[in-house]
Amino acid sequence: MKRDLQVMKHPLVDYHLTALRDKHTAGAGFRQAIKTLSMLLAYEATADLETSTHPVETPLVTCDGYQLNCRVGLVPILRAGVAMVEPMLDLIPASEVWHLGMYRDEATAQPVHYYSKLPDGKPVDIAFVLDPMLATGGSALMAIEALKKWGVAEIRMLAIIAAPEGIARLQKDCPEVQVHACVVDQRLNEDYFIVPGLGDAGDRIFNTVG
Residue 174's CATH number? 3.40.50.2020
pTM: 0.92
Q: Are strands 194-195 and 187-188 parallel, antiparallel or unpaired?
A: antiparallel
Domain tally, the chain: 1
What pLDDT sits at residue 109? 65
Give pLDDT tens digits for 132-166: 999 999 999 999 999 999 999 999 999 999 999 99
The answer to whether 165 and 118 have CB atoms below 8 angstroms apart is no
Q: Which helix (H) or strand (E) holds 30?
A: helix 27-45
Q: Is residue 60 part of a domain?
A: no
Q: Are 134 and 161 in contact (CB under 8 A)?
A: yes
136 in any annotated domain: yes
CB 77 within 8 A of CB 128: no
Domain extent for 12: 5-48+70-195
Torsion of CA 179, 184, 185, 191, to 10 degrees: 0
Residue 203 is among the residues annotated as catalytic for this protein: yes
Given a cut of 90, is residue 13 above it in pLDDT?
yes
Instruction: Report which secondary-structure segment, H or E, holds 40.
Output: helix 27-45
**What single-letter DSSP state applies at residue 3?**
T
Residue 106: pLDDT above 70? no
Out of 3, 108, 120, 191, pick the active-site residue: 108
What is the pLDDT, as a whole number, of residue 8? Answer: 96
How many CA atoms within 13 Å lie on the side-chain side of 148?
10
Beta bridge partners of residue 5, listed in sequence order: 179
Residue 93 is predicted with a pLDDT of 96
pLDDT at 2 over 60: no
Chain segment 54-102, per-residue pLDDT in tens: 999 999 999 999 999 999 999 999 889 999 999 999 999 999 999 887 7
Residues 1, 7 contacting (CB under 8 angstroms) = yes
Among the options 21, 71, 79, 104, which is catalytic? 104
What is the predicted pLDDT for the residue at 83? 96
Q: How far is CA 164 from CA 18, 29, 118, 156, 194, in A?
A: 20, 27, 29, 17, 9
- Note if the bond before 123 is cis, omega within 30 degrees: no
In a domain, 65, yes or no: no
Q: Choosing from 4, 71, 125, 203, which is the catalytic residue?
A: 203
pLDDT band for position 209 (cuts 50, 70, 90)? confident
Above pLDDT 90, what percent of the chain? 84
Alpha helices (H) in 46-163, listed in sequence order: 85-91, 138-150
pLDDT per residue over 188-204, tens digit each? 999 999 999 999 999 99
Q: Quick one: pLDDT at residue 192? A: 92
- Look up 104 and say whether it is catalytic: yes
Residue 134 lies in a domain: yes
- The rounded distance, in Å, linking the Cα atoms of 181 and 158 is 6
Q: Are 166 and 144 in contact (CB under 8 A)?
A: no
